[in-house]
């Protein structure tokens, strides 16, 4: 079986498949993705494959510069986004935004 290139928490699967979640915000360990990359996507909990995405852009952001637009692209409110980022990446400030579309 082919390994997945990137994983998402299962709770985001339906939003990704429906096109409601079009970015992901990651830490330095996942800063190597670049525009044009085609990635197999799995669920974090069981690594089960559920779609393929194309990276359509990348950028950097700090916790303080997260915006309403980022939140909309994540299909959540800005407060929810900041809470999720703080929970996943405690005490980190520099992040990498990966824009994507499902193929």
Residues marked as catalytic: 21, 24, 74
CA torsion through residues 51, 40, 86, 75, sign: negative
Tell me the pTM.
Answer: 0.94
Measure the CA–CA gap between 85 and 83, rounded to whole angstroms.
6
Q: Is 1 domain-assigned? A: no
Give me the phi and psi of 62, to 5 degrees please: -105, 165
Measure the CA–CA gap between 87 and 84, rounded to whole angstroms.
5
Domain that holds residue 71: 6-102
> Could you read off the pLDDT tens digit of each residue along the chain, which spans 103 residues?
689 999 999 999 999 999 999 999 999 999 999 999 999 999 999 999 999 999 999 999 999 999 999 999 999 999 999 999 999 999 999 999 999 999 9
Contact 77, 43 (CB under 8 A): no
CATH number of the domain to which 78 belongs:
2.30.130.30
Q: Residue 55's CB: how many other CB atoms inside 10 A? A: 19
Our count of domains for the chain comes to 1
Measure the CA–CA gap between 76 and 82, rounded to whole angstroms.
10
């Amino acid at each position: 079986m082919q390994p997945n290139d990137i994983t998402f928490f299962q709770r985001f699967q339906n939003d990704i498949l429906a096109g409601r979640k079009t970015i992901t915000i990651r830490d330095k360990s996942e800063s190597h993705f670049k525009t044009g990359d085609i990635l197999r996507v799995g669920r974090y909990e069981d690594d089960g494959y559920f779609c393929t995405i194309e990276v359509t852009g990348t950028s950097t952001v700090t916790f303080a510069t997260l915006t309403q637009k980022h939140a909309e692209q994540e299909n959540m409110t800005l407060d929810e986004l900041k809470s999720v980022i703080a929970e996943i990446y405690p005490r980190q400030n520099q992040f990498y935004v990966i824009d994507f579309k499902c193929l």
